[in-house]
Amino acid sequence: MADFAKERNWDQFHSPRNLLLAMVGEVGELSEIFQWKGEVPKGLPDWKEDEKVHLGEELSDVLLYLVRLSDICGIDLGKAALRKVELNAIKYPASKNYGTNDDGTAEMCG
Amino acid sequence: MADFAKERNWDQFHSPRNLLLAMVGEVGELSEIFQWKGEVPKGLPDWKEDEKVHLGEELSDVLLYLVRLSDICGIDLGKAALRKVELNAIKYPASKNYGTNDDGTAEMCG
Amino acid sequence: MADFAKERNWDQFHSPRNLLLAMVGEVGELSEIFQWKGEVPKGLPDWKEDEKVHLGEELSDVLLYLVRLSDICGIDLGKAALRKVELNAIKYPASKNYGTNDDGTAEMCG
Amino acid sequence: MADFAKERNWDQFHSPRNLLLAMVGEVGELSEIFQWKGEVPKGLPDWKEDEKVHLGEELSDVLLYLVRLSDICGIDLGKAALRKVELNAIKYPASKNYGTNDDGTAEMCG
């Protein structure tokens, strides 16, 4: 993503809040895919192939801006995410959170 | 993430739209970090260490739900993202989009 | 909202993008209320009274920031919304969009 | 909004979570307007008239879905919002929150 932006001289636009709002925009596009569908089963058995391709693109757009935002902020996202998984495992030990966690949810991230 | 959920019997809660809304919730928490700061320079030079750690956690929470949502939908996020970068490079060739792209923005994802 | 901010000398913080991100934060809190619930029927028949009060607060928070954001941007939200309803009625005439609109959705806003 | 949906037989699609995701989609479109602009001054002095009209439409779309979502949930949004303003005034008394509130922000909604 850094190379992509550099080759196009886009660094000037890629401030943290610009990228954050761009990511919010992509989250909106992702939500639009699901908005009129009611509850959707896992694996999306009834979705057409082109709908799945579109979904993959919108999920990717969120990821690409998230990666770029992290980089611009000087955050090592991979390292931070692995650390967060460890913190989550400590916060919600499997032995005490089987079925639901303490607050009756399936919150993975606290 | 799949193992994490399975060990806690949380698969029952991890439907696509539940995970999507959980991700929107984390995007909200990420936005709250930036909401009163005005424009923020790259690298966050004035942020305290604990603010950066907090930021890394919220960025991670978005990533973890994004990965989990993709997996539950049967989308290979890594593969989809690499394909999307290629599509973006074709849509916005560096030679024609130096400085800004056609519509005067630095849209990476179209 | 303008009086509220003025009495506290908060105008200095209430820039358009600060308020927008604050609103995104509130949308996140609203989403958290719905995130683990699966499909929810109209009227929320199974919700406890305190959950409904909480929901009313989060809906209100989104509204308050939306009103404040509009005001700071110099947009007359009431006037704009009435105009948008008229545009939507023209775009989606009842006679041609009964059941679903042209693209098979119930998009009210285009 | 209720009449608008009824005339088109759209009630069947207007479940709480469908409307919530539709609103998130509109928040995304609103964010896209601001995403590459850097900090934007109050009143949007440099924006063209058609940009302001577009902004008014996106602000309206968020409002329309928010009103519809509240209605479908059985929440009186006007009443809830007035109550929330009163709660906010108690939580952040002007005398103690002049300049910034206790946590150094201009949080209106807690």
Contact A27, B66 (CB under 8 A): no
CA distance D72 to chain C (A): 6
Q: Tell me the residues of C at the A interface, defined by beta carbons under 8 Å apart.
A: 17, 20-21, 24, 35-36, 38-39, 104-107
- The residues near A76 (Cβ < 8 Å, ≥ 6 apart) are A70, B56
User: What chains are in contact with D, requiring at least 3 Cβ pairs below 8 Å?
Assistant: A, B, C
Structure tokens of D39?
């900090």
- In this structure, of A38-42, B102-106, D29-33, the range with the lowest mean pLDDT score is B102-106
Distance from CA of B78 to the nearest CA of A (A): 8
Query: pLDDT tens for residues C45-92?
Result: 999 999 999 999 999 999 999 999 999 999 999 999 999 999 999 999
Please report, rounded to a whole number, the percentage of residues in chain D having pLDDT higher than 90: 82
What is the tens place of the pLDDT at every residue in A22-74? 999 999 999 999 999 999 999 999 999 999 999 999 999 999 999 999 999 99
Q: Give this complex's ipTM.
A: 0.94
pLDDT (tens digit, 9 = 90+) per residue, B45-88? 999 999 999 999 999 999 999 999 999 999 999 999 999 999 99
Q: At what angle do helices A16-34 and C16-34 cross, to 10 degrees?
A: 40
Share of chain B above pLDDT 90, in %: 82
Domain with CATH 1.10.287.1080 in chain C: 2-75
Give the alpha-carbon dihedral of D74, D77, D82, D88, to 10 degrees.
Answer: 90
Amino acid at A73: C
Q: What is the gyration radius of the CA atoms in chain D, in angstroms?
A: 18
Q: B94 contacts in A (CB within 8 Å)?
A: 7-8
Chain B environment of D106 (Cβ under 8 Å): 36
Amino acid occupying residue A15: S
Best of A29, A54, A55, A108 to mutate (most B CBs within 10 Å, chain B): A108
Residue whose entry in the numeric block shows the structure tokens 């997996």: B71
Q: Residue A98 has what pLDDT? A: 79
Asked whether the predicted pLDDT for residue D100 surpasses 90, the reply is no
CB contact under 8 A, D44 and C74: yes
Among candidate residues B10, B16, C30, the one with its CA nearest the CA of residue A108? B10
- Residue D62 to residue D55: CA distance in whole angstroms: 11
In the 3-class helix/strand/coil scheme, how is D1-68 assigned residue by residue? CHHHHHHCCCHHHCCHHHHHHHHHHHHHHHHHHHCCCCCCCCCCCCCCHHHHHHHHHHHHHHHHHHHH
Question: Which CATH code fits D2-38+46-75?
Answer: 1.10.287.1080
Residues in chain C closer than 8 A to A36 (CB atoms): 104-107
- Enumerate chain A positions whose Cβ falls within 8 A of a Cβ in D: 13, 15, 17-18, 21-22, 24-29, 31-32, 34-38
In this complex, which of A24, A28, A38 lies closest to D15 when CB atoms are compared?
A38
| Residue A46 neighbours by CB under 8 Å, 6+ apart | none
- For residues B19 and A19, what is the distance between their CA atoms, to the nearest angstrom? 23
Report how far residue B30's alpha carbon sits from residue B56's, in angstroms, rounded to the nearest whole number.
Answer: 9
List pLDDT tens digits, range D42-83. Answer: 999 999 999 999 999 999 999 999 999 999 999 999 999 999
- Count CB neighbours of B64 within 10 A: 22
Superfamily of domain C2-75: MazG-like (1.10.287.1080)
Which residue intervals of D73-95 are DSSP H helices?
A: 77-91
The pLDDT of residue B41 is 96
